[in-house]
């Protein structure tokens, strides 16, 4: 069953790397935006909310194209990053991670925001009377109490990144070993005669990865919730 070609294994490894890196990089931004949306009151808040949700409703190809014309080698921002920091996204796995991170961002923010909104703010008052300023209150009270939601959000983002196809292939193409993730590899395989068998193996593998990730996050979230309730 698992006698995959080296190229297919590369696609699996790349997918895991892209999904993990995009989730981890997106996390601090996701927490910051979730905090803003949950707690802030400022002009343009619903605009920000809409912008965050945009990747969820836009066709992924559109998101990918927008990335291409903003972060591509010849685009102003992309050229600036390449010239000054040596950061290149186009046709690199890092570009795939950016595309996946952006596609997964709404799910990440949504889960974290809901858990922040559910926190009893009176605990934060208690922290203040005990001498904690806002930064410490956030680190020692708000963040730990939001942990189940953060775990759930990371899991959703990871799974979403793993399944990302349209934005990635539009932005960084489908280069074996560099940007060819599981989804892109499956797509390539079913384009060639006789590729169905290998495609099916990759399908099974991606199902297994997602089920394992779901179970793991379920278990982690349960443990985190149990900790909060004094087990």
Of 28, 229, 194, 21, residue with least CA distance to 112: 28
Q: Tell the smallest beta-carbon distance from residue 210 to another protein (Å).
A: 29
Q: Tell the smallest beta-carbon distance from residue 84 to another protein (Å).
A: 40
Q: Tell me which residues touch another protein (CB under 8 A).
A: 122-123, 125-133, 136-137, 140-141, 144-145, 147, 227-231
Q: Tell the smallest beta-carbon distance from residue 149 to another protein (Å).
A: 13
Give the residue with the Cβ less far from another protein, 137 or 180. Answer: 137
| Spatial contact of 8 and 201, defined as CB atoms under 8 Å apart | yes
Q: Tell the smallest beta-carbon distance from residue 27 to another protein (Å).
A: 19
Q: Which residues contact 144 (CB under 8 A, 6 or more apart)?
A: 228
Give the residue with the Cβ less far from another protein, 130 or 207. Answer: 130
Give the residue with the Cβ less far from another protein, 74 or 227. Answer: 227
Q: Tell the smallest beta-carbon distance from residue 230 to another protein (Å).
A: 2
Give the residue with the Cβ less far from another protein, 130 or 192. Answer: 130
Output the DSSP codes for the chain.
-----HHHHHHHHHHHHHHHHHHHHHHHHHHHHHHHHHH---TTHHHHHHHHHHHHHS-HHHHHHHHHHHHSTTSHHHHHHHHHH----TTSHHHHHHHHHHHHHHHHHHHHHHHHHTS-THHHHHHHHTT--HHHHIIIIIHHHTHHHHHHHHHHHHHHHHH--HHHHHHH---TTTT--HHHHHHHHHHSTT-HHHHHHHHHHHHHHHHHHHHHHHHHHHHHHHHHTT-
Q: Tell the smallest beta-carbon distance from residue 96 to another protein (Å).
A: 36
Give the residue with the Cβ less far from another protein, 57 or 231. Answer: 231
Q: Tell the smallest beta-carbon distance from residue 28 to another protein (Å).
A: 21
| Spatial contact of 181 and 168, defined as CB atoms under 8 Å apart | yes
Residue 185 to residue 155: CA distance in whole angstroms? 23
Give the residue with the Cβ less far from another protein, 23 or 142. Answer: 142
Give the residue with the Cβ less far from another protein, 80 or 136. Answer: 136
């Amino acid at each position: 069953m698992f006698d995959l070609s080296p190229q297919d294994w590369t696609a699996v490894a790349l997918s895991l790397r892209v999904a993990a890196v995009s989730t981890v990089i997106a996390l601090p931004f996701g927490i910051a935006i979730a905090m803003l949306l949950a707690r802030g009151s400022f002009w343009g808040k619903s605009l920000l909310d809409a912008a965050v949700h945009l990747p969820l409703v836009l066709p992924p190809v559109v998101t990918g194209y927008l990335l291409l014309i903003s972060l591509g080698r010849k685009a102003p921002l992309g050229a600036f990053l390449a010239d000054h920091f040596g950061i290149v996204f186009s046709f690199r796995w890092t570009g795939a991670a950016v595309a996946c991170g952006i596609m997964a961002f709404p799910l990440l923010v949504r889960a974290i925001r809901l858990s922040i909104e559910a926190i009893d703010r009176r605990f934060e008052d208690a922290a203040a009377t005990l001498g904690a300023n806002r930064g410490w209150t956030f680190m020692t009270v708000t963040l730990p109490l939001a942990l189940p939601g953060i775990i759930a959000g990371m899991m959703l983002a990871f799974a979403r990144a793993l399944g990302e196809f349209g934005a990635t292939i539009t932005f960084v193409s489908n280069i074996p070993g560099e940007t060819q993730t599981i989804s892109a590899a499956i797509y390539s395989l079913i384009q060639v005669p006789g590729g169905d068998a290998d495609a099916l193996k990759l399908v099974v593998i991606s199902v297994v990865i997602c089920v394992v990730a779901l179970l793991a996050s379920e278990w982690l979230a349960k443990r985190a919730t149990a900790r909060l309730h004094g087990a």
